[in-house]
Structure 1
Amino acid sequence: MFKGEKVCLTAMRAEDLPDYRKWNGEAGFGRNYNSSPIREISEKQANDWFQENTERDFRFAIRPVGLDTFMGVCAIEDIEWPHRVGWLSIALGPDFQGHGYGTEAMAILMNYAWNELNLHRLQLTVFDYNQPAIAMYERLGFQKEGVYREFLQRDGKRHDMFLYGKLTSESSDF
């Protein structure tokens, strides 16, 4: 259930945290991952994030099949169990972007959401300047459902944030 041709999803490990901390301070990672100002997070912040475990969140490390290399993180978060709705997120380290790893990791994550968690709707947000992610989400069958106009400002320019969603009935893997 957690293995594809290129990548597998595993539990996060304490030894993944130094890379995760470093990547958060890099514009190519942090500016695509969230709207917070770019900064390297502290060891305590990373450990708190790592230890965070709720029944509403399922977080995974992305690794190459057969190797322990930490490539990134993906998650189903803030699940609304009565409504069977979850938020997806993914972030790959700079050296692992553009090779199809994210697409495969998202497909594995969606399969888990549909077939193990029995979710009905998956949703995510993405900034208008993150064209590679938008293309990936659309290839995976997500539909653009809304726009948070001029949601954030980066380098003196306003950017929209798009809302994408996908229903279990729209999944050919289910």
Structure 2
Amino acid sequence: MKLKRRNVLQDNEILLRAPEPSDVDFLYQLENNTDNWEVSETLLPFSKQLLKTFILQQNDIHSTKQYRWIIHLTTKDCPVGCVDLYNYDPLHRRAGVGIIISPDFQKNGYASKALHLIEKYANNTLKLHQLFCLIHEKNNKSRALFESLNYINTGIQKDWYFNGKDFDDVLFYQKMF
């Protein structure tokens, strides 16, 4: 009898997978959407060549202290977003988490599902004690998402980001396992 092994980074609808060279066009659209630049600290557009290099040079999380997964919709066989772990700290057993979903695929629950999978991976595989994220105070969608997944707002960083006119506060969220 052959046992079907389920990928820890997969559910019945999405798969978190490593970026492939074929994802360059998707990442190019996602990263160069200026609507996202304020929350991603991006100042200049990414070239396709730079994105190809990023994909080819992405190493394991232990050496780079960060990793990006593509959120792949298995029912339609297409990428819908990205989830990142960053500032990975195995000593203190924590990492930051960030997520972005393509505008065409928002409001379908994919962000919640992807975060649930990355939390399981962080807790069970990396043996992390917590994940954290920084959210612009005015980003109500992101705040609602993380709060719905039991992340707790544990602090505020005043005047943390300059938006071109004013300074914005950033909220610090944590989830302990």
Tell me the TM-score range normalised by the shorter chain. Answer: 0.7 to 0.9
Matches for 1:45-60 after TM superposition, within 5 Å: 45-50=50-55, 51-54=57-60, 55=62, 56-60=65-69
Q: CA RMSD in A?
A: 1.7
Of 36, 39, 49, which aligns to 2:42? 36
Distance 2:105 2:37 in 1: 15
Matches for 1:14-163 after TM superposition, within 5 Å: 14-32=21-39, 34-37=40-43, 39-50=44-55, 51-54=57-60, 55=62, 56-154=65-163, 156-163=165-172
- TM-score, normalisation: structure 1: 0.87
- Residues 12 and 59, structure 1, Cα contact 8 Å, conserved in 2: yes
- Residues 128 and 160, structure 1, Cα contact 8 Å, conserved in 2: yes
Distance 2:36 2:85 in 1: 19
Greater C-alpha radius of gyration: 2
User: Runs in 1 of length 4+ with deviation above 3 angstroms?
Assistant: none
Q: Aligned to 1:3, what secondary structure does the other structure show? A: coil
- Residues 22 and 40, structure 1, Cα contact 8 Å, conserved in 2: no
Name the aligned partner's letter for residue 35 of structure 2. G
Name the aligned partner's letter for residue 44 of structure 1. Q
Distance 2:85 2:69 in 1: 9
- Would you say 1:167 and 2:166 are equivalent positions? no
Name the aligned partner's letter for residue 24 of structure 1. E
- Residues 13 and 75, structure 2, Cα contact 8 Å, conserved in 1: no
What is the number of residues matched between the two proteins? 166
Q: Aligned to 2:86, what secondary structure does the other structure show? A: strand
Q: Aligned to 2:25, what secondary structure does the other structure show? A: helix
- TM-score, normalisation: structure 2: 0.85
Name the aligned partner's letter for residue 49 of structure 2. K
Provide, for residues 50-76 of structure 1, a one-character-per-residue CA deviation record: whole Å limited to 9, x for no partner: 223142223211011244311111022
Q: Percent same amino acid at aligned positions?
A: 21
Distance 1:69 1:3 in 2: 14
- Residues 152 and 174, structure 2, Cα contact 8 Å, conserved in 1: yes
Aligned-pair CA distance for 1:155: 5.1
- Residues 29 and 93, structure 1, Cα contact 8 Å, conserved in 2: no
